[in-house]
């Protein structure tokens, strides 16, 4: 149907319609229709009507002029004068007024009228671009062309035209109508009252993609009339959309048997053959349609799509361009050409074709959105922004447009505008879990914890398969140190979507925080597998494997990270820790010195380097200077005091070593390692200075195993002064101290 006003709609004024018009509600005023006007069973029209054909199943109060035919159905009422060339009155209808029959036969409606465009479906692969419109099923108004079984009506119409034009008495009118009804029943039998209703309902269901409901309506019509091509075409369209190719083939062939000249049915039959993989048969049909009707733009379009799907690009483009040339108001060829050029990365050509599609079909938001995305791909951000804003202005109630615009602002970092757009989208669909998820993300970025939690909890309640929602909720709960609940949320997230690297990473940080190092390493491995170019994941994995006593794996990962970013201080710091764990102290010192050069203010790096110097008994003055600097900055940190005490001991300053380690014990009285250090400083004699000098003069080793005594030293090392990964915050902390880290912003992490 070109226009459909259902029951409950009330209109008042003057209505002009160029297509098929169905009124099921109430209308008062004047109606001018160039095609078929249908007054439904519940329809009520008060006023003047001028149309080509009219079928009345409801109530009309006013004069009616139909250029071709008036059909008064059972239980219909018409109060007013009528003027027409043909009149059909069903038994049980009620007509009060005068009837004027015209002699001149009206011009038949042209079958080459421009096709009404269907609503735009989501851009789909060429082979799946199936669409449906009422005109595919009913190419011309049902009443404007006879179907098999209607031929007997012509004699009735000729008989009716012999009724006197004027001065008819009421008795004469009634007698004429009685004869007309008798003639219709004798020559052809009345067209079933409900066939058009079933056709109309079925077509509406097709437009709504309710294919089972549409099939039911067409089957009802088929029970009443088996000689109506529109019924078979409707069933064919249902099966075509459901990809039940053989059934569709049977129905379209039947519709063509009844109306062999109908090109729309031929085009649909060709699409069925294409769906079955019989491309040659499909192409032959398209060519036959074009041969019979060289101006059939739809045939050229479908042929072009078929050729593209077959890989014959040039032929496909030529056919699409011909379709656009024949019908300048046909947007589909331009859209398909735009898609083709985009696949070939010809952005300028893709944008040009999409602009043409938008020019023709301004009222379709999907086209504007596709054009905006093309602008983005071509780095035309201002044009993209203008197109997005135009979409929101033209279609404020379009949910997809709102969410697209909101997402674009989010990607560009304009969180205020993104929030406004998502809030507007929420008003349109408050129970949409995807919208709630994005709102939660923006609230997280904005550090509005309360609103973020409300939105994210609602998101996962609305959709318990929402992996991203559980992931963001886990981040939020981790920031509040609700470790158990956060761990549950993140475990749910990775179960729903194993490729969510951020969720694996967050889960790993929680496990590190709760000292489940082995499990944490596994989580970081999964995060790294999801994104092997993510430096944050590599650093976390290297640290976890170092802690997990799998130093070889840590070195392997961190060396890859070093190739990606050779001058990254965090990577050098991680390698320092991994080689230290392997016992390769001099190699470790080299990486730690590099880290210190890049991160000169990092106290964990200073502390680790000073500790390594002490263990190798080299550069002890520098070690002392670095260690004192860390203690001055953090006098209450027992780990830094332990390192300074070790340096004093190596340098032979026993009293200062004992005094310093006692300060560490005062801060952490139950620390077993500090107690061992105190006993060692008091009872074990330090290494003689000559040995220190001799070791300092030895050549540098490349693969140095731990020397004798390394194991003992490992038990007393300052474990917590190594690379630090801070507790998992909302956006993911870096394995580096807070004073020198370049921690990503909330937006960068999300």
Res 693: pLDDT: 52
Task: Read off the tokens for 655.
Answer: 């009293």
| pLDDT tens readout for residues 107-122 | 666 443 444 333 333 3
Contact at 8 Å (CB) between 474 and 460?
Answer: no
**Which residues pair with residue 21 across a beta bridge?**
3, 37
**Whole-number Å distance between alpha carbons of 576 and 735:** 13
Average pLDDT, the chain: 81
Place of tokens 């780990």: 639
Q: Is the Cα dihedral 699, 704, 706, 707 positive or negative?
A: negative
Closest by CA position to 444, among listed 471, 404, 417: 471
| pLDDT tens readout for residues 314-357 | 998 999 999 999 999 999 999 999 999 998 899 999 999 999 99
Res 688: pLDDT: 56
| pLDDT tens readout for residues 419-454 | 999 999 999 999 999 999 999 999 999 999 999 999
Lowest-pLDDT range of 96-110, 250-264, 338-352, 627-641: 96-110
pLDDT at 296 over 50: yes
Contact at 8 Å (CB) between 561 and 568?
Answer: yes
CA-to-CA dists, residue 169 to 103, 140, 178, 366, angstroms: 20, 37, 14, 59
Res 136: pLDDT: 57
Q: Which residue has the higher pLDDT, 144 or 600?
A: 600
Report helix angle 263-275 to 229-241, nearest 10: 30
Closest by CA position to 3, among listed 42, 41, 31: 31
Res 92: pLDDT: 87
The CATH fold of domain 194-260:
1.25.40
Q: Which helix (H) or strand (E) holds 276?
A: none
Closest by CA position to 265, among listed 242, 243, 288: 288
CA-to-CA dists, residue 161 to 45, 146, 156, 268, angstroms: 26, 18, 9, 39
Which pLDDT band holds residue 40 (cuts at 50, 70, 90)? Answer: confident
**Whole-number Å distance between alpha carbons of 480 and 459:** 19
Q: Is the Cα dihedral 413, 415, 419, 421 positive or negative?
A: negative
**Whole-number Å distance between alpha carbons of 362 and 530:** 42
Q: How many CA atoms lie within 13 A of 182 on its CB side?
A: 7
Q: Is 188 helix (H, G, I), strand (E, B) or coil?
A: coil
Lowest-pLDDT range of 86-90, 138-142, 270-274, 497-501: 138-142
* Residue 749 falls in which region: left (phi positive, over 0), alpha (psi -120 to 50) or beta: alpha
- Mean pLDDT in residue range 585-603: 95
Res 135: pLDDT: 52
Which pLDDT band holds residue 725 (cuts at 50, 70, 90)? Answer: very low
44-56 vs 59-61, strand pairing mode: parallel
Q: What is the DSSP letter of 686?
A: P
**Whole-number Å distance between alpha carbons of 560 and 733:** 21
What is the pTM (predicted TM-score) of this model? 0.56
Environment class of residue 729 by beta-carbon count within 10 Å: exposed (0-12), middle (13-18) or buried (19+)?
middle
Contact at 8 Å (CB) between 28 and 11?
Answer: yes
Q: What percentage of the chain exceeds 90 in pLDDT?
A: 59
Which pLDDT band holds residue 138 (cuts at 50, 70, 90)? Answer: low
What CATH number was assigned to the domain covering residues 601-717? 1.25.40.10
Ordered by start, the domain boundaries in the chain are 3-103+147-187, 194-260, 601-717
**Whole-number Å distance between alpha carbons of 78 and 63:** 9
Which pLDDT band holds residue 193 (cuts at 50, 70, 90)? Answer: low
Q: What percentage of the chain exceeds 70 in pLDDT?
A: 79
Q: Do domains 194-260 and 601-717 have the same CATH topology?
A: yes
Q: Which helix (H) or strand (E) holds 83?
A: strand 82-89
Q: Which residues contact 562 (CB under 8 A, 6 or more apart)?
A: 568, 571, 572, 575
**Whole-number Å distance between alpha carbons of 567 and 594:** 9
Res 113: pLDDT: 40
- Mean pLDDT in residue range 365-387: 87
Which pLDDT band holds residue 153 (cuts at 50, 70, 90)? Answer: very low
Task: Read off the tokens for 364.
Answer: 């379709």
Q: How many CA atoms lie within 13 A of 26 on its CB side?
A: 4
> What φ, ψ does residue 311 adopt, rounded to 5°?
95, 0
| pLDDT tens readout for residues 471-481 | 999 999 998 89
């Amino acid at each position: 149907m070109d226009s459909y006003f259902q029951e409950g709609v009330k209109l008042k004024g003057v209505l002009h319609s160029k297509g098929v018009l169905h009124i099921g509600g109430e209308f008062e005023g004047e109606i001018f229709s160039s095609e078929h006007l249908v007054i439904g069973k519940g329809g009520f029209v008060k006023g003047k009507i001028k149309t080509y054909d009219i079928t009345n199943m409801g109530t009309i109060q006013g004069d009616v002029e139909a250029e071709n035919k008036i059909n008064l159905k059972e239980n219909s009422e018409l109060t007013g004068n009528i003027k027409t060339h043909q009149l059909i009155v069903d038994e049980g209808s009620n007509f009060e007024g005068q009837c004027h029959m015209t002699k001149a036969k009206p011009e038949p409606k042209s079958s080459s009228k421009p096709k009404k465009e269907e609503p735009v479906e989501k851009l789909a692969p060429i082979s799946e671009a199936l669409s449906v419109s009422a005109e595919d099923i009913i190419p011309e108004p049902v009443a404007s062309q006879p179907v098999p079984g209607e031929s007997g009506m012509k004699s009735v119409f000729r008989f009716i035209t012999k009724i006197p034009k004027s001065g008819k008495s009421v008795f004469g009118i009634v007698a004429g109508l009685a004869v007309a009804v008798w003639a219709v029943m004798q020559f052809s039998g009345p067209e079933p009252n409900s066939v058009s209703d079933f056709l109309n309902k079925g077509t509406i269901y097709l437009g709504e993609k309710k294919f089972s409901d549409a099939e039911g309506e067409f089957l009802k019509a088929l029970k009443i009339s088996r000689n109506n091509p529109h019924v078979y075409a409707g069933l064919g369209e249902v099966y075509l959309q459901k990809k039940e190719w053989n059934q569709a083939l049977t129905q379209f062939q039947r519709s063509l048997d009844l109306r062999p000249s109908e090109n729309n049915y031929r085009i649909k039959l060709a699409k069925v053959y294409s769906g079955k993989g019989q491309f040659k048969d499909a192409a032959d049909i398209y060519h036959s349609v074009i041969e019979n009707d060289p101006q059939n733009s739809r045939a050229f379009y479908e042929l072009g799509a078929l050729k593209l799907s077959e890989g014959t690009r040039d032929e496909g483009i030529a056919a699409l361009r011909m379709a656009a040339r024949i019908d300048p108001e046909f947007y589909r060829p331009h859209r398909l050409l735009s898609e083709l050029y985009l696949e070939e990365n010809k952005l300028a050509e893709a944008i040009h074709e999409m602009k043409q599609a938008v020019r023709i079909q301004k009222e379709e938001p999907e086209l504007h959105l596709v054009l905006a995305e093309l602008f983005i791909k071509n780095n035309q951000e201002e044009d993209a922004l203008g197109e997005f804003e135009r979409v929101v202005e033209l279609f404020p109630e379009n949910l997809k447009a709102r969410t697209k615009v909101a997402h674009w602002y989010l990607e560009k970092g304009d969180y205020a505008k993104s929030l406004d757009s998502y809030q507007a989208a929420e008003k349109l669909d408050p129970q949409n879990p995807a919208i709630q998820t994005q709102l939660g993300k923006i609230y997280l970025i904005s550090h509005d914890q309360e609103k973020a939690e409300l939105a994210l909890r609602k998101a996962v309640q609305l959709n318990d398969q929402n992996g991203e929602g559980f992931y963001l909720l886990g981040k939020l709960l981790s920031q509040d140190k609700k470790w158990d609940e956060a761990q549950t949320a993140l475990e749910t997230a990775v179960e729903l979507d194993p490729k969510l690297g951020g969720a694996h990473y967050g889960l790993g940080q929680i496990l590190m925080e709760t000292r489940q190092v082995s499990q944490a390493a596994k989580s970081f491995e999964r995060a790294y597998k999801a994104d092997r170019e993510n430096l944050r994941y590599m650093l976390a994995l290297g640290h976890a494997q170092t802690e997990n006593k799998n130093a070889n794996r840590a070195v392997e990962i961190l060396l890859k990270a070093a190739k990606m970013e050779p001058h990254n201080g965090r990577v050098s710091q991680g390698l320092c820790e991994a080689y230290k764990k392997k016992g390769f102290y001099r190699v470790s010192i080299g990486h730690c010195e590099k880290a210190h050069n890049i991160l000169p203010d990092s106290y964990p790096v200073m502390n680790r380097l000073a500790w390594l110097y002490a263990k190798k008994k080299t550069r002890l003055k520098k070690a002392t200077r670095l260690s004192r600097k860390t203690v001055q900055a953090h006098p209450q940190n027992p780990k830094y005091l332990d390192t300074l005490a070790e340096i004093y001991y190596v340098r032979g300053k026993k009293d200062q070593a004992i005094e310093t380690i006692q300060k560490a014990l005062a801060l952490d009285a139950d620390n077993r390692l500090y107690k061992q250090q105190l006993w060692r400083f008091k009872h074990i004699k330090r290494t003689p200075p000559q040995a220190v000098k001799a070791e300092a003069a030895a050549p540098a080793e490349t693969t140095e195993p731990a020397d004798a005594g390394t194991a003992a030293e490992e038990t007393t090392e300052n474990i917590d002064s190594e690379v630090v990964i801070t507790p998992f915050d909302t956006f993911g902390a870096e394995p580096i101290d807070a004073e020198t880290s370049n921690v990503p912003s909330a937006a960068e992490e999300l």
